[in-house]
């Protein structure tokens, strides 16, 4: 184990996998000479050379398509989106080419590609550079979607994503790149896709949250602990495939659920998790599943508005109290 930042953990995962498999290469804007807009690929050009660390012009659809074509013909590209907002320019390639290739070719051409980069709300980057993108991807059959919250997950999940034979959307977070945590240095350490993590054990309520929202939920949990509410936090880590079992197991224990997501709630991850829970664990619920979601507005620039756009600790606390019937609104 070593303590390193989330960014360093990603870098380590890339280096290890590139060393392990010559078919792995990194392609994207500023990944080489510039060493990455967020320095995730720092040092890689020096170590692996321009054949495997490929700087591209600004042509997201083009270089994503190049990655897919390369994956169809035997390589294992890691495509970096400088930010995931730009992945929308490549959305057709991701959705219509990468996701469906194996299916529409009857299993002849799989696409082992990782498309990674930072996404989600950031700090005062305004409407086009600060948004939760996962919802665009996990709806598409054929894509796996990963949202790693910790340095250890960043490394273990990125390695699994690179080794996966299918397209994996791997959305990091600008706000997490500098967080530190313990990370195994063992090059064989991987975290399988599709396994949720219980971040905090609790008895009274399950909070499902990932990325920044997971940390915010953690703060809420600590505050509520003082009031005797014991919060369990489940981090799905992989949104597709979703580890529904771990979530359900927690729900069957606590009987109450709050789902937190940074994105706008309509037809979001919270809706999906709520639906899964009511289908599979209806009789275990003591309260309706609550969602705490981003406000359905584009991300504003102004600091105060930005703060109001994403779920706050206070809103999470309120929701937890509501499902625990401790918000004073019952007829107790």
Partner 1 sequence: MAVTKVVMPKLSEQMEMGKIIKWLKQEGDRIQSGDILAEVETDKADVEMEAFGSGVLRKILVPAGSQAPVGTLIGVIAEPSEDISQLGGPDMAPQTPQAAQPAKPSEPTQPAKPSAPATAGAGATEMANRPAAVPPMPRREDHAARTPSPAAGPEAPPASTRTAPGTPARPSAPAAPMPAAASLEGGRVKASPLARKIAAQSGVDLKLLQGSGPGGRVVRRDVEAASAGGGGGARPAVMPAVAPGVEFEDRPLTPMRAAIAKRMPLSKAPVPHFYVTSEIAMDRAWSLREELNALEGQPKISVNDFVIRACAVALLHHSGVNASFQGESIRVFHRAHVGIAVALDDGLITPVLRDAHAKGLAQIAVEARDLAERARHRKLRAPEMSGATFSISNLGMLDVTEFSAIINPPEGAILAVGSVRTVPVVTEDGLGVGRRMMLTLSCDHRVMDGAMGARFLQDVKRLLEEPLRLLV
Partner 2 sequence: MAQKTAIFQKSAPAAGIDPKLARALYADMVLIRRFEEKAAEGYALGKIGGFLHLYIGEEAVAVGATSAMRPDDYAIAAYREHGHCLAKGSDPKRVMAELYGRIDGLSKGKGGSMHLFDKSVNFLGGHAIVGAHLPLATGAGFSIKYRGGDQVVACYFGDGAVPEGEFHEAMNLAALWKLPVIFICENNRYAMGTSLERALAETEIWKFGRAYNMPSEAVDGMDVLAIRDVIGQAVARARVDGTPSLIEARTYRFRGHSMRDPAGAVYRTKEEVEREKLRDPIALFRDRALKAGWLSEDDLRSIEKDVADRVDEAVAFADASPEPPIEELLTDIFKES
How many degrees, rounded to 5, is the angle at CA 301 between CA 297 and CA 307? 70
Q: Which is nearer to partner 2, 96 or 128 (CB)?
A: 96
> How far is Cα 209 from Cα 158, in angstroms, rounded to an integer?
19
Tell me which residue of 80, 73, 38 sits closest to 55, measured CA to CA: 80
Catalytic residues: 60, 129
188 belongs to the binding site for partner 1 (CB under 8 A) = no
For the CA atoms of 33, 35, 38, 41, the dihedral, rounded to the nearest 10 degrees, stands at 130
Report 264-293 residues binding partner 1 (CB under 8 A).
282-287
Phi-psi sector, 119: left (phi>0), alpha (psi -120 to 50), beta: beta
Q: Which is nearer to partner 1, 34 or 325 (CB)?
A: 325
329 belongs to the binding site for partner 1 (CB under 8 A) = yes
Report 289-328 residues binding partner 1 (CB under 8 A).
325
Least spacing, CB of residue 196 vs partner 1, in Å: 22
Q: Is the peptide bond before 209 cis (omega within 30 degrees of 0)?
A: no
Q: List the structure tokens of 194.
A: 């599709």
Contact partner, 287, from partner 1, partner 2, none, Cβ < 5-8 Å per class: partner 1
330 belongs to the binding site for partner 1 (CB under 8 A) = yes
> How far is Cα 13 from Cα 158, in angstroms, rounded to an integer?
6
Q: Which is nearer to partner 1, 304 or 331 (CB)?
A: 331
DSSP, res 131: B
Least spacing, CB of residue 65 vs partner 2, in Å: 2
CB-neighbour burial class of residue 282 (10 A; exposed 0-12, middle 13-18, buried 19+)? exposed
Q: Which is nearer to partner 2, 100 or 180 (CB)?
A: 100
Contact partner, 283, from partner 2, partner 1, none, Cβ < 5-8 Å per class: partner 1
- Chain residues in the site for partner 2 (CB under 8 A): 25, 51, 56-57, 59, 61-75, 92-93, 96-97, 101-110, 112, 141-142, 144, 163-166
Q: Which of 51, 123, 226, 332 binds partner 1 (CB under 8 A)?
A: 332
Give the binding site for partner 1 (CB under 8 A). 255, 282-287, 325, 329-332
């Amino acid at each position: 184990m070593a303590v390193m930042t989330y960014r360093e953990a990603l870098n380590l995962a890339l280096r290890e996998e590139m060393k392990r498999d010559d078919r792995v290469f990194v392609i994207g804007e500023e990944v080489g000479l510039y060493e990455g807009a967020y320095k995730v690929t720092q040092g890689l050009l020096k170590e692996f050379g321009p054949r495997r660390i490929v700087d591209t012009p600004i042509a997201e659809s083009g270089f994503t398509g190049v990655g897919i074509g390369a994956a169809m013909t035997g390589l294992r590209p890691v495509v970096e989106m400088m930010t995931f907002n730009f992945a929308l320019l490549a959305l057709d390639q991701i959705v219509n080419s990468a996701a469906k290739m194996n299916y529409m070719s009857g299993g002849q051409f799989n696409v082992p590609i990782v498309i990674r980069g930072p996404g989600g709300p950031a700090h005062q980057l305004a409407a086009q550079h600060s948004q939760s993108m996962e919802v665009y991807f996990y709806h598409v059959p054929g894509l796996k979607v990963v949202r790693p919250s910790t340095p250890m997950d960043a490394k273990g999940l990125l390695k699994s994503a690179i080794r996966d034979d299918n397209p994996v959307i791997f959305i990091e977070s600008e706000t997490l790149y500098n967080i530190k945590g313990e990370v195994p240095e063992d090059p064989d350490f991987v975290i399988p896709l599709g396994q949720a993590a219980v971040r905090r054990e609790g008895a009274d309520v399950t909070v499902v949250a990932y990325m920044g929202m997971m940390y915010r939920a953690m703060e809420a949990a600590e505050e509520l602990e003082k009031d005797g509410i014991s919060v369990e936090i489940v981090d799905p880590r992989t949104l597709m495939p979703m580890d529904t079992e771990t979530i359900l197991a927690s729900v069957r224990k606590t009987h109450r659920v709050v789902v937190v997501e940074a994105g706008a709630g309509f037809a979001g991850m919270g809706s999906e998790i709520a639906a899964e829970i009511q289908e599979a664990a209806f009789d275990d619920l003591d309260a309706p599943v609550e969602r705490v979601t981003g406000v359905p507005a584009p991300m504003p620039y102004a600091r105060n508005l930005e703060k109001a756009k994403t779920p706050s600790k206070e809103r999470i606390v309120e929701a937890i109290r509501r499902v625990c019937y401790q918000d004073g609104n019952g007829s107790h």
